[in-house]
Amino acid sequence: MSTYLISNARPEGGDPSDLLVVDGTVTAVGAPGSLDVPEDAEVIDATGLIALPGLVDMHTHLREPGREDAETVETGTRAAARGGYTAVFAMANSNPVADTAGVVEQVWQLGRDAGWADVHPVGAVTVGLEGERLAEIRAMAESRAAVRMFSDDGKCVHDPVLMRRALEYVKAFDGIIAQHAQEPRLTEGAQMNEGAVSADLGLAGWPAVAEEAIIARDVLLAQHVDSRLHICHLSTAGSVEIVRWAKERGVTVTAEATPHHLLLTDELVRTFDPVYKVNPPLRTDEDVQALRRAVAEGTIDVIGTDHAPHTAEDKECEWSWAAHGMTGLETALAVVQHTLVDTGLIGWQRVAQIMSRRPAEILGLTDQGRELAPGAPANIVLWDPTGATPVDPSRHASKARNSPYRGMTLPGAVRATFYRGHPVVRDGELATPLAR
């Protein structure tokens, strides 16, 4: 049995408190020095640190099976722990695709064996992500992985009949369809956001309406069948308006924004550095500001990293040939502090909501995202808001180096991550995994 006293932490930015962790559970919380502490407790000095529930990422690419040269479940969850995450949802676009019970169980077991964070596989909506027929949704839901979210992320479920059938199917077990909103005919050959910059550079543009048209269609389908819909990596001001309208009408829709869409704009594409090539593309400053306001007001429910690791071969090449995607697990909380907290848009309670509690609620997790109160599982991140995170991808735990923040210094730093009461990160560095 392990016992830790986390002393003088500020739960969700509140008053300093002591937290007693015994055998993986928060057993007591009180004013500093007020708790009855066992003699064998190890004291963790958290003076000045903010204690948040372990972060939950609804949108991670771990690449295994099939692209272990870019990332593995082991390295990806190491990166997650370094970023303060204690649970991640692994998207289905592996090779083979996670469209069967066998593949999702493999990913789930790899996560348990690694011991750095909970890994919840996301099942594919369609076989092979091909958009032609539904995958083995029921079998994945009834597997040991107990899949509840299904997505063809990387591709859009563009056929409205298939999308309707998927929404109807998951309704039977309170599942959720997570849509990559991209009308394929409107984005053929697209290289970046359609706008003034694409016109200047002569690159084929991806219009905002390609995202917005799918979201508009799908919120109406979700309303029609009374099922749950989640919008992945929402990126435009128009998409915000559609989601807001749908929520006002009572549609059961949730939405996520990525850290990079809260900070970076399409002006960076002028460098032709493929590290800035991502799907959906970086948008305009007007879109960035609309997304920030939407997170603050609650139209956007969660922050999803869309951590998309790639090999150097796939990213360090000509722009038109480069793969889409950016790493993000190890920098997400720092970007959120920079764009939302330090700008005064939200406080730390809202950070806990969008990065931990709300994703756990959406996905039915009862052992993640809990308020740090007696009886809660001890999934905890200790964050130093006065620290700094110099971004050097060569020092990241991820196998990949395609961080768009390289060379930047972001505010704040993870000092410790407790996963089920076990410190997987201490003093900002990886410690030891949880042994099961």
Residue 93 known to bind ligand: yes
Angstrom CA distances, 397 to 212, 303, 400, 406, stand at 35, 21, 9, 14
Would you say 310 and 70 are in contact if contact means Cβ atoms under 8 Å apart?
yes
- SS3 assignment for 171-239: HCCCCEEEECCCCHHHHCCCCEECCHHHHHHCCCEECHHHHHHHHHHHHHHHHHHCCCEEECCCCCHHH
Residue 224 known to bind ligand: no
Contacts for 384 with CB less than 8 Å, ≥ 6 apart:
48, 49, 50, 412, 413, 414, 415
Residue 180 known to bind ligand: yes
CA–CA gap between residue 272 and residue 170 (Å, rounded) = 41
Q: Which of 279, 393, 277 is nearest to 328 (CA)?
A: 393
Residue 233 known to bind ligand: yes
Residue 366's SS3 state is coil
Residue 45's SS3 state is strand
Residue 287 known to bind ligand: no
Residue 422 known to bind ligand: no
Q: Which helix (H) or strand (E) holds 417?
A: strand 409-419
Residues acting as catalytic residues: 306
Q: Which helix (H) or strand (E) holds 361?
A: helix 358-362
Query: Mutual orientation of helices 237-248 and 285-297 as an angle, nearest 10°?
Result: 30
CA–CA gap between residue 184 and residue 376 (Å, rounded) = 44
Residue 410's SS3 state is strand
CA–CA gap between residue 103 and residue 71 (Å, rounded) = 17
CA–CA gap between residue 238 and residue 230 (Å, rounded) = 16
For residue 173, the tally of other CB atoms under 10 A from its CB is 13
Residue 62 known to bind ligand: yes
Query: Phi/psi at 43 (nearest 5 deg)?
Result: -90, 125
Q: Residue 80 is encoded by which pair of tokens?
A: 């997650």
Burial of 210-235, coded b for 16+ CB within 10 Å and e otherwise, reads bbbbbbbbbbebbbebebbbbbbbbb
DSSP assigned state of 337:
I
Residue 310 known to bind ligand: yes
Residue 338 known to bind ligand: no
Residue 61 known to bind ligand: yes
Extract the annotated binding site.
59, 61-63, 93, 153, 180, 233, 279, 306, 310
Binding site listing for Zn(2+): 59, 61, 153, 180, 233, 306
Give the residue numbers of the binding site for substrate: 61-63, 93, 279, 310
